[in-house]
Amino acid sequence: MWADTLLILFISVCTALLGEGLTWLMVYRTEKYQKLKSEVERQSKRLEKRKEAHGDSLDKQQKRKIEREEEKLKQNNRDLSLVKMKSMFAIGFAFTALLSMFNNIFDGRVVARLPFLPISWIQGLSHRNLPGDDYYDCSFIFLYILCTMSIRQNTQKILGFAPSRTASKQGGIFGAPPQAFK
Amino acid sequence: MATKTKTTEKNGSNGASTIKQPALESVWVRAFKSESEWPDKEEFLDVIYWARQFLGIAVGILWGLIPLKGFVALLLFALVNAGIVYMYCTSFQKVDEEEYGGAWELTKEGFMTSFAGFLVTWIIFYTGLHSEGFRKDL
């Protein structure tokens, strides 16, 4: 059982690296993406500074300036997510196929023993396609998701691909409306 | 290219801080030194993020070795993780939490990733060391 557990950890490290590698190939290295990213970062920082300086003032001119910059940032964020979108879809499809392949390989196999009893709505995932009703048994998909959750984000951060905090705070990666400044 | 991007970012933040504080020590030194100066907020948040990841894995290994089980172990992890980071920020580094958007922002920085890392190491160590008695056939 432990060999399976470690194998899944290894698989998720590989898929995380592969995913980031493919995204780099299709998105991160393109000039358009890099230009947009640095633009968004620059605008976010400028907007934050401006808000810090004039956030509480009732000066209409400043408010209008802030609004205008927010609008620009939103537009750039939208463009950035559009650049990412196409390749994300392609990678998503490839990984869904890969996941279903692994799912078939580990079908019905207990890959780990959980040291806690998962709550009922997680049991469907942690006990997926497993025989018996010992809910301490862990299925492939549950462990894989957990591994991916931790490894993927850390890999992105180490490689410097994670979106900066200022950018996500100001506009959100999918162009969500900027948060109201406190 | 990735390295290039990373280097540019690092240089960018370091460059910005160098202008304000020419004699600023490296992030590593400042992270372990009490009441350090953090002119770049991102740097301090990164320190918290990585401290959390390390803490998550360390607690996961410890809980797996003992072994601690059940809901109590999960709760204990959350308390240890949030408690240590909060103490680090307020008592060791003595940063103004309002500058970072309040205590909640500092507490949640990297928490979910750390929680996932904790679960993975906990499950792996528990499975490897304490599960053989349950399923000899596997």
| pLDDT per position as a tens digit, A120-172 | 889 989 998 898 888 999 999 999 999 999 999 899 899 888 877 776 665 54
pLDDT for the residue numbered A60: 78
**Position A68 in a domain:** yes
- Note whether A78 contacts B: Cβ–Cβ < 8 A: no
**Position A18 in a domain:** yes
For A97, the domain range is 1-166
| pLDDT per position as a tens digit, A49-79 | 877 776 666 677 778 888 888 888 888 888 8
Inter-chain CB proximity A112 and B2 less than 8 Å: no
Query: Rounded distance, CA A148 to CA B119, Å?
Result: 12
- Say how many domains are in chain A: 1
From residue A85, give the alpha-carbon distance in Å to each of A31, A78, A88, A91, A97.
Answer: 16, 10, 5, 10, 19
Inter-chain CB proximity A1 and B116 less than 8 Å: no
Partner residue facing B123 (CB), from A34, A115, A161:
A115
**Position A176 in a domain:** no
**Position A172 in a domain:** no
**Position A36 in a domain:** yes
**Position A38 in a domain:** yes
Query: Rounded distance, CA A62 to CA A54, Å?
Result: 7
Break chain B into its structural domains and give their ranges.
39-131
Query: Which tokens hold the place of A13?
Result: 């490290």
Q: Is ipTM over 0.95?
A: no
Whether residue B35 is predicted with pLDDT greater than 50 in this model: the reply is: yes
